[in-house]
Structure 1
Amino acid sequence: MNYDRGTIGHEERLALPGDVAEPRRKRALVIGIVAVIALAAIAWFVFGNKKVEGGKPVAQLPNVTVTVPGRKTIDREVTATGTLAAKREMPVGVAGEGGMITRVLVEPGQWVQAGQVLATVDRSVQTQTAQSLAAQVAVAQSDQSIAQAELDRAQALVDRGFISKADLQRRTATRDAAAARVKVAQATLREARARNGRLDIRAPAAGLILTRQAEPGQIVSAGSGVLFRMAQGGQMELRALVSEADLAGIHPGARATVTPVGSDRTFEGAVWQVSPVIDPQTRQGTVRVQLAYDPALRPGGFAAATLVGGSASAPLLPDSALQSDGQGSYVYIVGSDDKVARRNVKVSQVVDGGVVIGSGLNGTERVVRSAGGFLAPGQKVKPVVARS
C-alpha cells in the first residue's frame, strides 16, 4: 500500500484517497475557462466586424479612400536624346597660297577675336617679291615725273612756234602712259601685300577654338583641309532626335532642359530650329536646342533632353492609384452605387505630381487612391474622399 505524507504543523499524516480528486477538479476548471476564452476570441474575429440587421449579421463595408482628379493644365513634355555640337561650327583652313607654318598661336578651348592670327606661315620669299614690286612703283613714278616735266616745257613753247601741236600731243600721251604704269605697279604691289597678308591663318569671327590640326614646320596649302575648328560666339546646341508624332507639338522657342551623360547638372535652353523633314528610315526629325557656353558642354558628347511641347488639360493621379496587369494600365473607380469597377486608362506622361492620364478618365470619377490591389470589381465599399 502506497501512502503520501503530508505535513500539518509538525505532525505527519497519511494522505487519503479522496484527497487526489481535488487537484483534478481544479485542473478541469482551468481548462474549461481557457476553452471559453478561446471560443470567445474566435467568435470575435468571425463576427466582431459584422453588425446585426433584422436579427441577421451583416458584413461592415470597408472604408476606401478615393480622389476626384478633375482636369489640370499640364505641360506636355517630350524626352529625347542627341549629340552636343557647336551651333555654328566654322572650319578654318589656308586662304592664301600656303607655305611652312612657323608659329601656332592658339590652343583648343581658347577664345579668339575676329581677324586674330591663329598661325603664321613663312613669307621670306614673298617679302622679297613685295620689295621688288615697291621698287618698280618708284621707277614708274620717276618716269611719270619726267614725262610731266617735258609736257610742261612743251606747253610753254608751243605758243612761240618752237614745238608743233603734234609734238605736244605725243608728250601728253607719254605722260599719260607713265601715269598708267604707276597705277599698274601700285596695284601689283597691293596685290602682293594682300597675298602676303593671307599667308597668316586668321579667325573669321570671334569664338571658341575647338580643335587644332596645325603644327610648326607643317607645309600647308589650299588643299590641306581644315586646320582649326571654331564655335562661333562659343554657342552650343543639342541636336536631339524626336519621333514624328512628338515633333508635331514642338515649335521654336519651346523650353528645354538638357542633361549631359555622366553629369548630374542640367542646363536650360530653348528650341531654335525644328527639322522640316523626317528621316524615312527612322521616322524621326532633329530638334536643335540652343545652349549658352559652359565648359561642361563638350561638342560630340551625348545628352538627354526634356522638351516642353505645349500644354494640355488632363486628369492627374497619384502613383498609388495606378495599377497594371497583362491587359495594361487601369484604375479602380467607385460608382454611384458605391461598387468598385475597373477602368482601363492610358498614361500620357509621368510628372513630379503623379501620372497624367491621356485617355480613360474625364476627371469627374471617384478613383481609388490606394490599396486597389485588395479590392475586386463589383465589391461594395464605403468611399472616403481624400482631402486635397
Structure 2
Amino acid sequence: MQQLKWLSKIPPKKLYCGLATAIIGLGIIGGVILKDHNKPVAAAEEIAIVRTAVIGTTKNTQEYTYSGEVRGRYESQLAFQVNGRITNRNVQLGSHVSAGDALMQIDAKDVVQTVNSNSAQVYSAESQLQLAESNLNRYRELLEGGAISQSQYDQYANTYNVAVAGVRQASAQYEQGTNQLDYTLLKANKSGIVSSISAEIGQVVSAGQIVATVIQDGDREVEISVPENRIEELRQAKDIKVTFWALANKMIAGKIREIAPMADPATRTFKVRISLLNPPPEMKLGMTASVTVVSSNVPQTITIPLTAIYQTGDTPTVWVVTDDILTLRSIKVGKFINETLIEVLEGLQQGDCIVTKGVHKLKAGQKVQAGGESL
C-alpha cells in the first residue's frame, strides 16, 4: 500500500515516460539475447576412423603346397613271359608276398607238350650219338688194321661229330621248353605288398602284359606333381615338410630324391618323389599327403589386400595416410598372390600407411584416425 501511495505521488506524465523507457530497454536487451541465441554454431570437424595397414619388409621366402600320395620307392610291375589263359590267382589286393611266391598261373598244357616233344628229341639224339660212337670205334680198329682208307674213317668221324651236335641242340630245346613251363607261374621277385591286379582267372594274356604290381618292402616316399614353371624353385628349396590328412599333428621332414626328366603327356606336370627322413609307423601306402615347399632366393615384393585398391579409371590407386591426412597415390600392380592379395611393383615403399577397407567412402585431404595392422 505504501508503494502504491508512492506511485500515486508521481505525476502521470513522468510515470508513463518511465514505463515506456523501461519497456523499450527490455525489448532491446531481449532482441540482442535472441539474436545471439539464433546465431548458428560452427559444426565440429568430423574425423573418420579407418582400418589401415603399414607396409613392411616382405620375406625372401615363398611357400607352395602340393597334394601327393604315399608310394613305395620300388614298385615291380609283373607280367607273364608266355601267352596263355590264367587258371589260378593266389593273391588279393593288399596281400603280403615273399620272394619266389607264385602269384598267378596260366594253362600249361601246350607248354607241357612242347617239353615232352623236346625230351623225345633228346633221347633220339642221344641214340644217334651212341650209334655214331660205336661205328667210329669199330672203323678206327679197321683203319689201324689197314682194312679201310682214311677217307672212309673220316666219314664216320664226321657222323659222330654231327650226332654230338644233335644232342646239344636237342638238349638246348628241351631246356628252353622247361623254362617256358616255369614261366607259366608268375612269381614275386621281391618281398612286398600287392598294390594292383589287372587280370582275372579265365582271362587270356599275352607275354609282357602287366597283370600285377608289387610294392617292395622298404622305403616309403611321397609322389607329387609339379608344374614346369616351379621346377627350378623346387630344386633350390631349402625346406620341405610333409603332413598327412589321416595323421593329425604329424609333420615329417623330406628331401627331393627324384624329378622326372619329362612332363607327363596328359597333365603336363613333372612327377617328383620326396623321401621321408623319419616316417611315422602309422603311415600307410596310398595315404594322402601335403608337401609344403619353402623356396629361397625369392625377390622381395610388396603385397596389399585387394580391398585397399581404389580404382578410378585405368590407374589403380590407394589411400595413403600421412599425419592423419588422406592422399591418393597411383600404384603399379603385378600378379595376384591369392584370392585376397596382389603384388605391388611401384608406388609404395616400406613404412607407408594405407587404408585397407572402405576406400570408396573417403576423399582427398580428409582427416582420419588410423588403426590396423602391418603387412
**TM-score normalised by L of structure 2:** 0.60
**TM-score normalised by L of structure 1:** 0.58
Q: Residue 69 of structure 1 aligns with which residue?
A: 56
Quick one: which of 336, 349, 368 aligns to 2:337? 349
Residues 379/127 of structure 1: CA separation in 2 closer, same or farther (3 Å cut): same
Residues 109/192 of structure 1: CA separation in 2 closer, same or farther (3 Å cut): same
1:185 aligns with 2:179: no
C-alpha deviation, 1:61, in angstroms: 11
Aligned-residue CA RMSD (Å) = 5.2
1:363 aligns with 2:349: yes
Residues 106/311 of structure 1: CA separation in 2 closer, same or farther (3 Å cut): farther
Residues 132/266 of structure 1: CA separation in 2 closer, same or farther (3 Å cut): same
Residue deviations 1:82-108, cap 9 Å, x none? 99999997654443131341x212222
Q: Residue 157 of structure 2 aligns with which residue?
A: 172
Give the 5 Å matches for 1:152-163: 152-163=137-148
Size of the alignment, in residue pairs? 316
Q: Residue 295 of structure 1 aligns with which residue?
A: 284
Residues 259/297 of structure 1: CA separation in 2 closer, same or farther (3 Å cut): farther
* 1:236–1:291 Cα contact (<8 Å) kept: yes
Residues 220/66 of structure 1: CA separation in 2 closer, same or farther (3 Å cut): closer
Gaps of 5+ in 2: 1-40, 277-282
Residue deviations 1:293-335, cap 9 Å, x none? 953636xx8x876555654233567x8x773467398754344
* 2:310–2:319 Cα contact (<8 Å) kept: no
Residue deviations 1:256-286, cap 9 Å, x none? 667788997878674723755999xxxx841
Give the 5 Å matches for 1:1-388: 67=54, 69-75=56-62, 77-78=63-64, 92-101=78-87, 103-110=88-95, 117-124=102-109, 126-127=111-112, 129-203=114-188, 208-216=193-201, 218-222=202-206, 226-229=210-213, 237-239=223-225, 242=227, 246-247=229-230, 250-252=233-235, 254=237, 270=256, 272-273=259-260, 285-291=268-274, 295=284, 297=286, 311-315=297-301, 323-324=307-308, 327=311, 332-335=319-322, 339-343=325-329, 344=331, 348-349=336-337, 357-360=343-346, 363-368=349-354, 377-380=364-367
**Aligned residues: percent identity?**
21
C-alpha deviation, 1:168, in angstroms: 0.8
Structure 1: how far apart are the matches of 2:95 and 2:77? 15
Structure 1: how far apart are the matches of 2:310 and 2:55? 26
Residues 157/129 of structure 1: CA separation in 2 closer, same or farther (3 Å cut): same
C-alpha deviation, 1:287, in angstroms: 3.3
Q: Residue 7 of structure 1 aligns with which residue?
A: none
C-alpha deviation, 1:169, in angstroms: 0.9
* 2:61–2:295 Cα contact (<8 Å) kept: no
Residues 60/173 of structure 1: CA separation in 2 closer, same or farther (3 Å cut): closer
